[in-house]
Amino acid sequence: MSILTILRYPDPRLHKIAKPVTVFDARLKKLVEDMAETMYAAPGIGLAATQVDVHERVIVIDTSEAHDELRAYINPEILWASEEKQVYDEGCLSVPGIYDGVERPARVKVRAFDVEGNPFELEADGLLAVCIQHEMDHLQGKVFVEYLSPLKRNRIKTKLVKEEREMARSAQRVATR
């Protein structure tokens, strides 16, 4: 297993729409293992393949306290979403250090495949429902900050671009010593 590089907003690759998985093989299993290791190391509770520059419909999620309930969702689709909404403070591994309230359906029913290609359905609420919807947005090329006002979004973009520049300068200083 290996830790993958997580794309940072506003990287344009985060806006690519993921393609359906058509082959359930060892490559897919390795991708899921690497994504899980990357998510746990970050640390996070969900990761979409889009975030690691793989544009396939694959997400991994583990909302458990003990980090022992990993689940992969291959080609996920929402079959049903409640009319009832909830606001959760969301964060994202691609938007480090930023959290803000996003309103989403409180409950969802999802159909997906596991890494073996077996279909399953799941009803989720609470944090799991939020996480599923958040990660599925990534597969559509959408980052959670796009739910925020243009002013907030621009401030976040400016902050992250500045941080990226500062990290690059620091790395350059270290390399020249």
Q: Does the annotation flag 55 for ligand binding?
A: no
Distance of CA 126 to the CA centre of its chain: 17
Asked if residues 83 and 105 have their Cβ atoms less than 8 Å apart, the reply is yes
Q: Does the annotation flag 138 for ligand binding?
A: yes
Asked if residues 61 and 131 have their Cβ atoms less than 8 Å apart, the reply is yes
Active site residue 135: yes
* Residue 54 burial (10 A CB sphere; 0-12, 13-18, 19+): middle
C-alpha Rg value of the chain to the nearest Å: 17
Which one of 56, 69, 135, 146 is the catalytic residue?
135
* Residue 93 burial (10 A CB sphere; 0-12, 13-18, 19+): buried
CA nearest to 106, candidates 79, 77, 130, 134 = 130
- Which residue positions form the known binding site for Fe cation? 92, 134, 138
Which residues have a catalytic role annotated?
135
